[in-house]
């Protein structure tokens, strides 16, 4: 997978272990990869309440929007990375979920 910076402050180090956890060489879905490899956080645990703004930012009631920092494609799934280790997986049909991977 190739991570593309979407924000000028984005650095590769900000992704931490995410590139090791989510890879396109693993044929499982992104959520299944996270469930299998992300032991400290308990796997993929969706967090409800976010909305996605037209520019790709995530909005949560009462908080300032989180700008999109980086994005990668894993077959037919789009993986987006945000500040505070929020990760969003967007399916080909446009549905999406957000999980915190810290």
Q: Which domain holds residue 47?
A: 1-6+41-102
Contacts of 19 (CB under 8 A, 6+ apart): 1, 3
Q: Within a domain: residue 18?
A: no
Tens of pLDDT, residues 10-66? 999 999 999 999 999 999 999 999 999 886 657 899 999 999 999 999 999 999 999
Whether 19 is covered by a domain: the verdict is: no
Residue 97's DSSP bridge partners are 89
96 is a domain residue = yes
**CA–CA separation, 94 and 77 (whole Å):** 9
* Beta-strand pair 51-52/4-5: unpaired
Q: Write out the H or E segment, with its range, that includes residue 81.
A: strand 77-82
Please count the structural domains in the chain. 1
83 found inside a domain: yes
Evaluate whether residue 33 is within a structural domain.
no
Q: Is residue 25 part of a domain?
A: no
Please state the pTM of the whole predicted model: 0.93
User: What three-state secondary structure class fits 85?
Assistant: helix
């Amino acid at each position: 997978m190739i991570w593309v910076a979407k924000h000028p402050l984005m650095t590769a180090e900000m992704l931490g272990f995410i590139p090791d956890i989510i890879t396109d060489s693993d044929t499982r879905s992104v959520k299944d990869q996270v469930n299998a490899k992300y032991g400290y956080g308990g796997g993929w645990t969706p967090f409800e309440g976010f909305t996605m703004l037209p520019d790709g930012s995530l909005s949560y009631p009462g908080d300032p929007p989180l700008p999109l920092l980086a994005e990668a494609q894993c077959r037919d799934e789009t993986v987006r990375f945000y500040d505070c280790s929020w990760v969003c997986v967007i399916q080909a049909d446009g549905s999406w979920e957000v999980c915190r991977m810290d």
